[in-house]
């Protein structure tokens, strides 16, 4: 299938509210949301997406109750155990962007192991944005470049090159589920010319069919990047 969209990012929102509306604890929504990741990753493979970046835990999420945060960290640990073999078998390269140094040592070992084992995979690049914030990322980027070129002016190209090596390159499409219409400090530099799509569907109910429909709809648009046809 010919697909003009190469890099897609998703803010997977609405898990807790989805559970609350069903009189279940919020963690139940996150469990169901985690299970939905595999379906959408498979959908991205079918759509010939090259890079899929999922917003799994933001810097701002640290303000949530400790119990909920602990449960989210455990869900990441379980995901890595459950999906690592499947990801490699499907030629998917896995990477976490963000600062996960605070996680338990065993979880960090799982992350490093999967990143290393999948590093030679040539199919879909799957990024988890975990403990991630775009403003903080841009600050790290600038400080890092300044160390290498103290007397030179930092250019747009410098920042693009750093992000390609350490994070995510330009994004073609950003999807947010759950009904809210905002970016929430996610890939602010990379989405400068991305198409934006806001779905009212909560993440646990977000289907391959809806994902496919969004891709089809956006592919029909003429992306001019400030030019004329």
pLDDT, tens digit, for every residue of 17-69? Answer: 999 999 999 999 999 999 999 999 999 999 999 999 999 999 999 999 999 99
% of the chain residues with pLDDT over 70: 96
Q: How confident is the model over 118-158, as pLDDT tens digits?
A: 999 999 999 999 999 999 999 999 999 998 876 688 999 99
Name the nearest CA neighbour of 49 among 94, 8, 110: 8
Confidence of residue 2 (pLDDT cuts 50, 70, 90): low
User: Quick one: how many helices (H) and strands (E) in the chain?
Assistant: 7, 6
The pLDDT of residue 54 is: 98
Whole-structure pTM value? 0.94
Predicted confidence (pLDDT) at residue 224 exceeds the cutoff of 50: yes
Residue 136 contacts residue 60 (beta carbons within 8 Å)? no
Predicted confidence (pLDDT) at residue 6 exceeds the cutoff of 50: yes
Reported in sequence order, the residue ranges of 164-212 that DSSP labels E, i.e. its strands, are 173-176, 195-198
Identify whether 172 is a catalytic site residue: no
Q: What is the dihedral of CA 205, 103, 107, 123, to 10 degrees?
A: 60
The pLDDT of residue 1 is: 43
Q: What is the dihedral of CA 199, 202, 206, 212, to 10 degrees?
A: 10
Q: What angle do CA 15, 21, 23 make, to 5 degrees?
A: 105
Q: What average pLDDT does this structure show over 72-95?
A: 97
Predicted confidence (pLDDT) at residue 229 exceeds the cutoff of 70: no
Average pLDDT of the chain? 94
The pLDDT of residue 4 is: 82
Q: Which of 3, 42, 48, 61 is catalytic?
A: 61
195-198 sheet: strands from edge to edge? 93-97, 125-132, 51-58, 7-11, 173-176, 195-198
The CATH number of the structural domain formed by 7-219 is: 3.40.1180.10
The token pair at 97 is: 């962007």
Confidence of residue 217 (pLDDT cuts 50, 70, 90): very high
Cα–Cα distance, 136 to 55 (Å, whole number): 15
- Residue in this structure with the two tokens 């898990």, named with its chain if needed: 15
Residue 15 contacts residue 33 (beta carbons within 8 Å)? yes
Identify whether 61 is a catalytic site residue: yes
Name the nearest CA neighbour of 96 among 84, 67, 71, 45: 84
Question: Of the ranges 159-168, 193-202, 220-229, which one carries the lowest mean pLDDT score?
Answer: 220-229
């Amino acid at each position: 299938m010919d697909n003009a969209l190469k890099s897609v990012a998703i803010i997977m929102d609405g898990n807790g509210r989805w559970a609350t509306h069903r009189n279940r604890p919020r963690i139940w929504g996150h469990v169901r949301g985690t299970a939905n990741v595999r379906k959408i990753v498979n959908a991205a493979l079918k759509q010939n997406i090259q890079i899929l970046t999922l917003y799994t835990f933001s810097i701002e999420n640290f303000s949530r109750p400790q119990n909920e945060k602990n449960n989210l960290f455990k869900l990441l640990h379980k995901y890595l155990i459950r999906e690592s073999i499947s990801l490699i078998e499907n030629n998917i390269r896995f990477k976490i962007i963000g600062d996960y140094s605070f996680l338990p040592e065993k979880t960090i070992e799982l992350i490093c192991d999967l990143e290393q084992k999948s590093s030679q995979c040539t199919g879909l690049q799957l990024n988890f944005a975990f403990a991630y914030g775009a403003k903080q990322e841009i600050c790290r980027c600038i400080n890092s470049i300044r160390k290498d070129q103290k007397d030179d002016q930092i250019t747009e190209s410098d920042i693009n090159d750093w992000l390609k090596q350490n994070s995510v390159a330009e994004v073609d499409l950003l999807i947010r589920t759950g009904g809210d219409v905002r970016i929430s400090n996610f890939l602010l530099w990379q989405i400068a010319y991305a198409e934006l799509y806001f779905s009212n569907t909560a993440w646990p109910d977000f289907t391959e069919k809806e994902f496919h429909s969004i891709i089809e709809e956006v592919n029909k648009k003429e992306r001019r990047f400030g030019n004329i046809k």
